[in-house]
Amino acid sequence: MRFKRVYLDNGASTNVDPKVLEVMLPYFTEKYANASSGHTFAQESKNALENSRKIIAKSINAKTDEIIFTSGGTEANNLALKGIAFQNKDKGNHIITTKIDHSCVLESCKWLESQGFKVTYLDVDEEGFVNPTDLKKAITDKTIIVSIIHGNNEIGIIQDLETLGKICREKGVLFHTDACQSYTKTEIDVKKQNVDLMTLNSHKIHGPKGVGALYIKDGIKITPWQHGGGHEKGLRAGTENIHGIVGFAEAVKIANKKHVEHMIELRDKLINGALEIKGSRLNGPRGNKRLCNNVNLSFKGVEGEALGGYLDSKNICSSTGSACSTRSLEPSHVLKAIGLSNEEANGSVRLTLSRFNTEEEIDYVLKVLPKFVKKLRGFSAIWKG
Ligand SMILES: Cc1ncc(COP(=O)(O)O)c(C=O)c1O
């Protein structure tokens, strides 16, 4: 093989762009002051923090002070759900999410159930779409927040935030979305899309790990979960991760439409090539309702884990189920929610691209993939093709 590695697990995490690293480095060794300190040296850190906040706010059409930095998407989702639930517990005890949300949303909801809150987990259709009528019907006078993932990490479906958010607005219910996978990859405009709270993170977009943000619309009150020195308007205590935040903002600055077009081209080449394999199926929709970097395939008679292992033997990094979670033998909750049997769900493989992937890499994957599928079907009791 001509490549050291073909990295197709960008939905789990991405490489830090060298330009991002360059911008981050001085904040480790030269500009290391605590942004909360009073001396002049600290002003550099404070300026970097506020400038980064401005960049991130602008990118989603929010105001600068509507952005709270966190340690990542998991923390932002926890803060949004638990913070809103406890802030509004006198108004109601009902939360709505979907069966295809990320585990950090679902586990937060489960924990909230243990605290007396009631949660509705909306079904989705066979492509992964939430039906707006289902959402409308699920909202009651006790509903305090609706949380629906924007771009799904497993099957790449992009929900129609504008329509879903409008329903929440009309019913007077807060609308939160987890945009970790869609950020910089599809249009995000919190005003146009009627979003009240939005989760973002850095390590899916060639920024560093361990940093994310929560957009909280002006005027919305939220109960903090982390107590301490009153950082981030008292909503998230802890010395700000300035080098991470600066890197996050730089990654946002670098991301552009050309990168998205490049990923779409590679994605569609990979999908079209893979679907030529008999007994294959694409999980999630095609076209512009799919994240530009997501491919999720099932091959009849093939174990996804085994296929991932064969790909790995050729240094092709893929994932099965959701690679952000700890390894689990349970079939993916997302694939089950779109109607796949346990067997089909266990036969899936996720290949996620970044702007750093090349057409040659995709050609290579398409060359080895049919061979591996054929080989694995040789061991299969199901495959009779
Ligand atoms: C949709 C989604 N939400 C949340 C997260 C968690 O973000 P983080 O790793 O920054 O905690 C991930 C992946 O990691 C994700 O894909």
Q: Are 318 and 8 in contact (CB under 8 A)?
A: yes
Same-fold call for 6-15+256-377 versus 18-254 = no
Inter-helix orientation angle 359-377/304-313, to 10°: 130
DSSP states of 294-308: EEEEEETT--HHHHH
Distance CA 294, CA 151 (A): 10
Closest by alpha carbon to 311, among 258, 365, 355? 365
Q: Phi and psi at residue 280, in whole multiples of 5°? A: -105, 155
Task: For residue 316, give the amino acid letter.
Answer: I
Look up residue 151 and give its DSSP letter. Answer: B
Closest by alpha carbon to 237, among 88, 362, 377, 68? 68
User: Where does residue 359 rank: exposed (0-12), middle (13-18), buried (19+ CB within 10 A)?
Assistant: exposed
Task: Pick from 70, 79, 153, 159 the residue to mutate for probing ligand 1's pocket: most ligand atoms within 8 Å of its CB.
Answer: 153
Q: Token pair for residue 329?
A: 């033998």
Alpha helix stretches (DSSP H) within 30-160: 40-59, 73-87, 103-114, 132-138
34 in helix, strand or coil?
coil
Look up residue 348 and give its DSSP letter. Answer: E
pTM for the structure as a whole:
0.97
Q: Phi and psi at residue 176, in whole multiples of 5°? A: -115, 145
Q: Whose CA is nearest to atom 4 of ligand 1?
A: 73
Please give the distance, rounded to the nearest whole angstrom, from the Cα atom of residue 280 to the centre of ligand 1: 28
Q: Whose CA is nearest to atom 7 of ligand 1?
A: 73
Which residues, other chains included, contact 31 with Cβ-Cβ below 8 Å and sequence gap of 6+? 44, 45, 48, 242
Q: Are 18 and 208 in contact (CB under 8 A)?
A: no
- What's the CATH code, domain 6-15+256-377? 3.90.1150.10
Domain residue extents for the chain: 6-15+256-377, 18-254
Domain 18-254 coded CATH 1.10.3480.10? no
Q: Token pair for residue 66?
A: 């509507």
Q: What is the pLDDT of residues 170-205, one digit of tens each?
A: 999 999 999 999 999 999 999 999 999 999 999 999
Q: Catalytic positions, please?
A: 324
Q: Which helix (H) or strand (E) holds 370?
A: helix 359-377
What residues flank ligand 1, with Cβ below 6 Å? 72-74, 77, 102, 104, 149, 153, 178, 180-181, 201, 203, 212, 324
Kindly give the confidence (pLDDT) of every residue in the chain, 385 residues in length, as a single tens digit, with 9 standing for 90 and above: 678 899 999 999 999 999 999 999 999 999 999 999 999 999 999 999 999 999 999 999 999 999 999 999 999 999 999 999 999 999 999 999 999 999 999 999 999 999 999 999 999 999 999 999 999 999 999 999 999 999 999 999 999 999 999 999 999 999 999 999 999 999 999 999 999 999 999 999 999 999 999 999 999 999 999 999 999 999 999 999 999 999 999 999 999 999 999 999 999 999 999 999 999 999 999 999 999 999 999 999 999 999 999 999 999 999 986 444 545 668 899 999 999 998 889 889 999 999 999 999 999 999 999 999 999 998 877 777 7
Q: Whose CA is nearest to atom 13 of ligand 1?
A: 324
Q: Phi and psi at residue 34, in whole multiples of 5°? A: -75, 125
Find the largest Cα–Cα distance for the chain.
73
Distance CA 283, CA 58 (A): 33
